[in-house]
């Protein structure tokens, strides 16, 4: 046997080792999921206490109690350990609908769905450097909007599929062939409508288009189509994602795009489709230098879009400082620099670095999913308040674009 053949036959050659490790890790992750979310190995959203419901809906706790006693609206469950009333998110949305029907003048406050004259908001979260908290931002924004009563679609454009994993979908097990955004974008006869690949999640009012490695096929197909000057289903390639998303325009108020950490065809499509864009920035020198390259490349790509006769029509474009440590002096200097350079284009609230986010992430949970008491109260409250401020600022950008006061 030749030396090459011997190397190929070894069970520990690089290819075999990588394949073995991939299967072992995938199996272990599945086992961990079954342990964390028994008995069906599926994530569930915790119920919400009365004071949380009051804060989410602007309905006083006393009114919630009266509604429950009068049999108007949903009947909350009781916690076994202390008999406190708790509501599911579905029941919270039922409460919103009840109050909107009883008080038509305040209907928009209780049920904030966009009106006929308000356009679909497509918010892209972007940066091509890993570690900028892009997916963390997309997850928390999607869930925050759903908790506020909006109809939300989260789209995972990243082949690493971290967004999908946060919503309980293990990419290599739960997502089959032709079940990602690629299914709606592909150029051949296996193309599907967008509605066919949308999934419900355990978050009422929040749907998901999952991702996995299949998403990369679009990056391979598009240059081939461009080289042969084919358009497939009509339109220039960077318009394709926007056209597909508008197939479900009537079903959602906001679509949140978690873009890949690269400036490929999908990211370009997301930038063109977006009505609003949030660029996540970790205030450290290497990250800011990387963002500089990202902006230069994005500028060149937008020039190409303009040459094709199209323009970017975005309601807002902002930078969000993430993993921010306010007492870190180098970070403070970088934050000052960015605010000096970009002024009001940098969101005032920042997503702070917190062990609460890391602890929640270990269980594939967001700050909105964590059970009360699972994380030290002061740590959790500080992180949650900061995240709420960030998401409230983005929501204000959305509602302002709709012309709401």
Q: Within this chain, do residues 152 and 100 fall inside the same structural domain, yes or no?
A: no
The pLDDT tens digits for 311-327 are 888 999 999 999 999 99
Q: Within this chain, do residues 265 and 186 fall inside the same structural domain, yes or no?
A: yes
The pLDDT tens digits for 34-66 are 665 554 557 889 999 999 999 999 999 999 988
Q: Is the pLDDT of residue 174 over 60?
A: yes
Q: Which range has the worst mean pLDDT, 236-240, 258-262, 377-381?
A: 236-240
Q: Is the pLDDT of residue 167 over 50?
A: yes
Of the two residues 149 and 294, the one the predictor is more confident about is 149
58 in Cβ contact with 110 (< 8 Å): yes
Query: Given this model, what pLDDT does residue 12 score?
Result: 60
Rounded to whole angstroms, the Cα distance separating 360 from 266 reads: 29
How would you class 39 by CB atoms within 10 Å of its CB: exposed for 0-12, middle for 13-18, buried for 19 or more? exposed
User: What three-state secondary structure class fits 83?
Assistant: coil
Q: Sorting pLDDT into bands at 50, 70 and 90, what band is 21?
A: confident
Query: Given this model, what pLDDT does residue 234 score?
Result: 42
222 in Cβ contact with 237 (< 8 Å): yes
Listed in sequence order, the DSSP H helices in 168-260 are 171-174, 182-185, 216-227, 240-245
Query: Given this model, what pLDDT does residue 309 score?
Result: 78
Rounded to whole angstroms, the Cα distance separating 39 from 307 reads: 55
Q: Is the pLDDT of residue 4 over 60?
A: no
Q: Is the pLDDT of residue 80 over 90?
A: no
Q: Within this chain, do residues 59 and 184 fall inside the same structural domain, yes or no?
A: no
Model confidence, pTM: 0.89
Is 29 among the domain residues? no
Q: Is the pLDDT of residue 105 over 50?
A: yes
Query: Given this model, what pLDDT does residue 175 score?
Result: 94
Q: Within this chain, do residues 58 and 185 fall inside the same structural domain, yes or no?
A: no
Q: Within this chain, do residues 135 and 72 fall inside the same structural domain, yes or no?
A: no
Q: Report the number of distinct structural domains present in the chain.
A: 2
How would you class 134 by CB atoms within 10 Å of its CB: exposed for 0-12, middle for 13-18, buried for 19 or more? buried
CATH number of the structural domain spanning residue 95? 1.10.1660
Q: Is the pLDDT of residue 19 over 50?
A: yes
Query: Given this model, what pLDDT does residue 147 score?
Result: 98
Q: Sorting pLDDT into bands at 50, 70 and 90, what band is 264?
A: confident
54 in Cβ contact with 60 (< 8 Å): yes
Of the two residues 85 and 234, the one the predictor is more confident about is 85
Is 43 among the domain residues? no
Q: Sorting pLDDT into bands at 50, 70 and 90, what band is 123?
A: very high
Parent domain of 258: 121-401
Q: Is the pLDDT of residue 120 over 50?
A: yes
Q: Within this chain, do residues 71 and 203 fall inside the same structural domain, yes or no?
A: no
Q: Is the pLDDT of residue 235 over 80?
A: no
Q: Is the pLDDT of residue 33 over 60?
A: no
Give the bridge partners for 85, in sequence order.
78
Is 133 among the domain residues? yes
265 in Cβ contact with 232 (< 8 Å): no
Q: Within this chain, do residues 246 and 165 fall inside the same structural domain, yes or no?
A: yes
Query: Given this model, what pLDDT does residue 8 score?
Result: 47
**In the predicted model, what is the mean pLDDT of residues 24-36?**
64
Query: Given this model, what pLDDT does residue 36 score?
Result: 59
**In the predicted model, what is the mean pLDDT of residues 105-126?**
95
Rounded to whole angstroms, the Cα distance separating 140 from 280 reads: 13
Q: Is the pLDDT of residue 349 over 60?
A: yes
Provide the mean pLDDT of the chain.
89
Q: Is the pLDDT of residue 220 over 70?
A: yes
Q: Is the pLDDT of residue 269 over 80?
A: yes
Q: List the 77-78 sheet strands across, edge first.
A: 48-49, 85-87, 77-78
Q: Is the pLDDT of residue 233 over 50?
A: no
Query: Given this model, what pLDDT does residue 325 score?
Result: 94
Q: Please give the share of the chain, as a percent, with pLDDT higher than 70.
A: 89
Is 213 among the domain residues? yes
Q: Sorting pLDDT into bands at 50, 70 and 90, what band is 67?
A: confident
Q: Within this chain, do residues 253 and 135 fall inside the same structural domain, yes or no?
A: yes
Is 34 among the domain residues? no
Is 345 among the domain residues? yes
Of the two residues 26 and 369, the one the predictor is more confident about is 369
Q: In degrees rounded to 5, what are phi and psi of residue 141? A: -65, -45
**Separation of CA 344 from chain center:** 24
Q: Within this chain, do residues 87 and 132 fall inside the same structural domain, yes or no?
A: no
């Amino acid at each position: 046997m030749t030396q090459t053949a011997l190397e190929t036959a070894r069970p520990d050659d690089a290819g075999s080792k990588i394949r073995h490790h991939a299967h072992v890790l995938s199996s272990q992750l599945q086992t961990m999921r079954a342990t964390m979310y028994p008995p069906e190995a599926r994530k569930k959203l915790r119920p919400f206490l009365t004071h949380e419901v009051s804060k989410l809906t602007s309905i006083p706790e006393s009114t919630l109690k009266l509604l429950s006693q009068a049999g108007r609206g949903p009947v909350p469950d009781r916690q076994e350990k202390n008999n406190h009333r708790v509501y599911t998110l579905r029941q919270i949305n039922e409460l919103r609908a009840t109050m909107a029907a009883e008080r038509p003048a305040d209907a928009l406050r209780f049920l904030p769905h966009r009106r006929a004259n308000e356009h679909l908001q497509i918010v892209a979260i972007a940066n091509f450097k890993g570690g900028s908290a892009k997916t963390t931002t997309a997850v928390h924004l999607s869930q925050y909007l759903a908790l506020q009563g909006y109809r939300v679609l989260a789209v995972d454009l990243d082949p690493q599929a971290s967004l999908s994993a946060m919503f309980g979908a293990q990419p290599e097990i739960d997502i089959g062939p032709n079940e990602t955004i690629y299914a709606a974008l592909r150029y051949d006869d296996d193309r599907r409508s967008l509605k066919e690949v949308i999934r419900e999640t355990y978050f009422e009012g929040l749907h998901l288009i999952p991702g996995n490695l299949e998403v990369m096929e679009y990056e391979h197909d598009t240059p081939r189509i461009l080289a042969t000057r084919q358009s497939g289903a009509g339109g220039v390639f960077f318009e394709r994602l926007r056209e597909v998303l508008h197939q479900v325009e009537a079903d959602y108020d906001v679509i949140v795009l978690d873009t890949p950490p690269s400036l490929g065809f999908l990211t370009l499509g997301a930038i063109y489709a977006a009505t609003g864009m949030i660029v996540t920035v970790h205030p450290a020198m290497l990250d800011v230098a990387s963002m500089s390259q990202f902006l230069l490349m994005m500028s060149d790509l937008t020039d190409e879009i303009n040459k094709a006769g199209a323009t970017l029509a975005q309601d807002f474009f902002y930078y969000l400082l993430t993993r921010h440590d306010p007492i870190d002096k180098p970070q403070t200097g970088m934050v000052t620099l960015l605010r000096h350079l970009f002024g009001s284009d940098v969101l005032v609230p920042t997503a702070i670095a917190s062990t609460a986010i890391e602890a929640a992430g270990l269980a594939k949970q967001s700050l909105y999913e964590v059970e009360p008491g699972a994380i030290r109260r002061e740590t959790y409250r500080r992180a949650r308040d900061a995240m709420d401020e960030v998401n409230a600022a983005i929501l204000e950008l959305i509602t302002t674009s709709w012309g709401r006061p």
